[in-house]
Amino acid sequence: MQHQSSSCLSCLTSKGCGSVLTTSGNVEMDAIVMDGKTLASGAVSAVRNIANPVQLARLVMEKTTHTCLTAHGANQFALAMGVPEVPQESLITEYSRMRWEKNLAPDANPVECQMGKMGTVGAVAVDIEGNVACATSTGGILNKMEGRVGDTPCIGCGGFADNQVGAVSTTGHGEAIMKVTLARLILFHMEQGQSPEVASDMGLAYMKSRVQGLAGVVTVDPQGQWAARFTSSQMAWAAAQKDTLHYGLYTGEHFTQSLDEP
């Protein structure tokens, strides 16, 4: 996503409602936010009862000297910062509960389900001064154990932002993404002169061939070139550039709509 704003970080938010559930039916959220101007980053993992984990990750970045807080410690930090806890049931949708029940079956495919109607929410942005930022949050993959932490809160995996290159946010099978540090790998290809689209395809192809993992990414460079690419069967994506909304779901889809339309 490209967003022309005086503040990249101000437009990067996501909520935990509808998260993928753990094997015991709980909501545990991971999130990361990164500022490409300073390389400052904040992350949280395995947090419960927090409506907006990205905002909590930003507080970690801005209010502490740490990069990542996890589980009980992250929730204690949220309390100290005045972030209200919400009832877990308010974060669980009927659809996520249904998918949780279905995917307790041994032959379920959690990766494809995750990249369908539920899973990771990610965003990248560039402002009018060329500052980039990224944010990613997720409930993880289906059938995950309690306490499992995936790629999302890990710098270079779930996201990375650097004003000198660009910003990437990832979604997909976290264990595979971590093995290839997918976000940073894509930016490496951009450092070598590749466009966001080509670099994204190269990173995704390497991950698929090397560790047989499927993923999707949104990528932007400081000049505003962007890409939404994926190797899964689908990935819901949208990009706002100037007065036009771009969006799609399946491979090859690219629809546009004027943002001035009612």
User: Which tens digit of pLDDT belongs to each residue from 226-254?
Assistant: 999 999 989 999 999 989 999 999 999 99
Number of domains in the chain: 1
Alpha carbon distance 117, 94 (integer Å)? 12
CATH at residue 119: 3.60.20.30
Over 60: is that where the pLDDT of 111 sits? no
**Average per-residue pLDDT in the chain?**
89
Alpha carbon distance 209, 176 (integer Å)? 11
- Does residue 81 belong to any structural domain of this protein? yes
- Does residue 1 belong to any structural domain of this protein? no
For the chain, the farthest-separated pair of C-alpha atoms sits apart, in whole angstroms, at: 50
Instruction: List the domain range (segments joined by +) for residue 119.
Output: 9-258
* Segment 156-194, tens digit of pLDDT: 999 999 999 999 999 999 999 999 999 999 999 999 999
Over 50: is that where the pLDDT of 35 sits? yes
Query: What's the Cα-to-Cα distance from 92 to each of 40, 46, 56, 87, 104, rounded to whole Å?
Result: 31, 16, 19, 10, 17
- Does residue 91 belong to any structural domain of this protein? yes
- Does residue 98 belong to any structural domain of this protein? yes
Question: Quick check: 143 and 173 in contact, CB under 8 A?
Answer: no
The confidence score (pLDDT) of residue 8 equals 54
Q: What is the pTM of this model?
A: 0.89
pLDDT band for position 13 (cuts 50, 70, 90) = low
Residues in the chain: 262
- Does residue 4 belong to any structural domain of this protein? no
Catalytic residue at 120? yes
Query: Which 3 state secondary structure label does DSSP give 92?
Result: coil
pLDDT band for position 95 (cuts 50, 70, 90) = confident
Over 70: is that where the pLDDT of 211 sits? yes
Structure tokens that stand for 215 in this block = 């993923």
- Does residue 34 belong to any structural domain of this protein? yes
Structure tokens that stand for 179 in this block = 């093995």
Question: Quick check: 126 and 8 in contact, CB under 8 A?
Answer: yes
Alpha carbon distance 14, 240 (integer Å)? 16
Q: What is the rounded average pLDDT of the residues 32-61?
A: 96
- Does residue 2 belong to any structural domain of this protein? no
Among candidate residues 22, 38, 93, 120, the one labeled active-site is: 120
The confidence score (pLDDT) of residue 103 equals 76
| Cα-based torsion angle of the residue sequence 120, 197, 232, 31 in order, rounded to the nearest 10 degrees | -10
Edge-first strand listing for the sheet containing 121-126: 68-70, 40-47, 29-35, 132-138, 121-126
